[in-house]
Copies of this chain bind each other. A is one copy, B any other.
Amino acid sequence: MTGSQKHIIGMVFYPGMTALDMVGPHQVFSALPGVQIYRLWKTSDPIKTDDGMVILPDTTFENCPPLDVICVGGGLGQAAVVDDPETLDFFRKQGSTAKFITSVCGGSEFLAKAGLLQGYRAATHWTAREQLAKLGVEVSTDRVVVDRNRITGGGVTAGIDFGLTIANILCGEEVAKIIQLLMEYNPAPPFDVGSPEKAGAELVAKAMLFMQGISTLELAKSVS
């Protein structure tokens, strides 16, 4: 590290993560002036995401310098990792000195299990709200929640709004606006069903069944 780095951001990648949870904010962060990003995991092995991509982490937990921002996302493979002592220790260690402790989607469960979200308001994927509340977190249905130095986003695509919110905090409004423009973030969703509140009970029930189908399929793929 050199003195010219202004913000050291670590993003924890893991097998079965949802790629878009991290790639959304990663795309924002990578455009910030004076930022160094580490893509972290326990090992240097290739990581298969829950949508079947393979991404290489570049830094192990052991080799990771103290982070200004620590960030983690959710994924269908999360359950197999979220109680891993080495991973939770890494969050606790980095969380004790990081300026911002952050997550997208189901990633908030890592922070909660590391004891970093109790007493804070936080967002998560809508399917994970109940589970996060059980861990003693004040769960919000907001898309992005900033509570002191905990910054959390809702499910998957919320990572883009989350990333731009952090860009604004770290580098100011003009930079955040420029990045939003360069990413042409002028969304036009084809349907108005992007939250359980908007989608209604019937579609929510179908989506839960659909997700179970994907999870089963992904599990089959990961052992094949």
Interface residues of A (CB under 8 A from B): 18-20, 23-24, 26-27, 30-31, 33, 37, 39, 46, 50-56, 58, 105, 125-127, 143-144, 154-158, 160-161, 164-165, 168, 173-178, 180-191, 193-196, 198-199, 203-204, 206-207, 210-211, 213-214
Contact = CB atoms under 8 A, between A and B. Distances in A.
Nearest to A47: B56
A58 B221 CA distance: 15
Given A20-B27, A181-B194, 14 more contacts: A19-B27, A20-B183, A54-B55, A144-B190, A155-B184, A158-B186, A164-B189, A176-B190, A180-B189, A181-B204, A183-B194, A186-B189, A187-B187, A187-B194
Nearest 3 interchain pairs by C-beta: A186-B194, A155-B184, A30-B51
Q: How many copies does the complex hold?
A: 2
A187 B210 CA distance: 22
A154 to B, nearest CB: 5
Contacts of A180: 189-191, 193-194
Contact of A195 (B54, B186, B199): B186
A187 B30 CA distance: 21
A31 B175 CA distance: 34
Contacts of A168: 190
A27 to B, nearest CB: 4
Contacts of A203: 177-178, 181
Given A53-B23, A160-B157, A191 B207 contact: no
A16 to B, nearest CB: 13
A186 B210 CA distance: 19
A198 B210 contact: no
A205 to B, nearest CB: 10
